[in-house]
Chains A and B, each alone.
Chain A
Amino acid sequence: GNSVTQMEGPVTLSEEAFLTINCTYTATGYPSLFWYVQYPGEGLQLLLKATKADDKGSNKGFEATYRKETTSFHLEKGSVQVSDSAVYFCALLNYGGSQGNLIFGKGTKLSVKP
């Protein structure tokens, strides 16, 4: 079936450190891939997405590249800020399942210290 696996948290970094949050997926066909972010006390927001292999999604200094050969969509940022502290969810759109069914990873909590 379709599934998403992302690295366990929490992840604690100092400001300006490099961030990588790993995400791998299992899917039939050609899913779209997403990173959602949830800031404290708020709902989930789309951070970035990629709809086909080798696409790179980017937003707010974050990037992720759709790697079909390794079935991965790792999230990276070169220099994190305290304001990046949040929970990050990797997700894929399952075209073979119910319409609009986003399959989520468990989420990775990021804490950035000044």
Chain B
Amino acid sequence: NAGVTQTPKFRILKIGQSMTLQCTQDMNHNYMYWYRQDPGMGLKLIYYSVGAGITDKGEVPNGYNVSRSTTEDFPLRLELAAPSQTSVYFCASSYSRPGGNTEAFFGQGTRLTVV
């Protein structure tokens, strides 16, 4: 039972480069989320999705894009990497909104450095 899988685990980008952080879940969850965690800070929501074909902005969406073509996959795209995007990125999923009878399941994180 894989749960939530993120790739890659580590990446170094040069300023202006682009990349896609992959996230897939095998639990048939309809809700998926992307968070970032800056050093010494809590997690901040970047984007979320309540189902295939539906995405919405979270607290810090600037510089990122997402898509949700399938229930399983929720990739996060960085088009023009900037040093401010150096962070650890977490993908999460849940069957419905967390706090009810469900919980959010997290991937292991992607550590991204932009130089």
Residues of A within 8 A of B (CB): 4, 32, 34, 36, 41-46, 49, 51, 89, 91, 93, 98-107
Task: Collect the chain B residues with CB atoms within 8 Å of residue A98's CB.
Answer: 45, 48, 56-59
A102 x B43 contact (CB < 8 A): yes
CA distance A49 to B42 in the complex (A): 18
B97 to A: closest C-beta gap in Å = 4
> What 10 A-B pairs are tightest by C-beta distance, nearest first?
A104-B42, A43-B106, A32-B99, A44-B106, A93-B99, A104-B43, A100-B97, A46-B103, A43-B108, A106-B42
B18 to A: closest C-beta gap in Å = 25
CA distance A64 to B95 in the complex (A): 25
- List, sorted by A's number, 15 A–B pairs whose CB atoms are closer than 8 Å: A41-B108, A43-B3, A43-B4, A43-B106, A43-B109, A49-B99, A89-B42, A98-B45, A98-B48, A98-B58, A100-B50, A101-B59, A105-B42, A106-B41, A107-B37
Q: Is the interface of A mostly helix, strand, loop or mixed?
A: strand
A103 to B: closest C-beta gap in Å = 7
A57 to B: closest C-beta gap in Å = 12
Q: Is the interface of B mostly helix, strand, loop or mixed?
A: strand
- How many residues of B are in contact with the other chain, CB < 8 A? 31
Task: Collect the chain B residues with CB atoms within 8 Å of residue A91's CB.
Answer: 43
A-facing residues in B35-90 (Cβ within 8 Å): 35, 37, 40-45, 48, 50, 56-59, 90
Partner of B48, one of A34, A51, A101, A107: A101
B31 x A4 contact (CB < 8 A): no
Known: A44-B90, A89-B43. A101 touches B58 (CB 8 A): yes
B20 to A: closest C-beta gap in Å = 19
B42 x A99 contact (CB < 8 A): no
- Closest chain A residue to B107 by CB distance? A43
Known: A89-B42, A106-B42. 7 other contacts (CB 8 A): A32-B98, A43-B107, A43-B108, A44-B106, A49-B103, A98-B59, A101-B45
Task: Collect the chain A residues with CB atoms within 8 Å of residue B106's CB.
Answer: 36, 43-45
Q: Which one of A34, A41, A43 has the greatest number of beta carbons of chain B within 10 Å?
A: A43
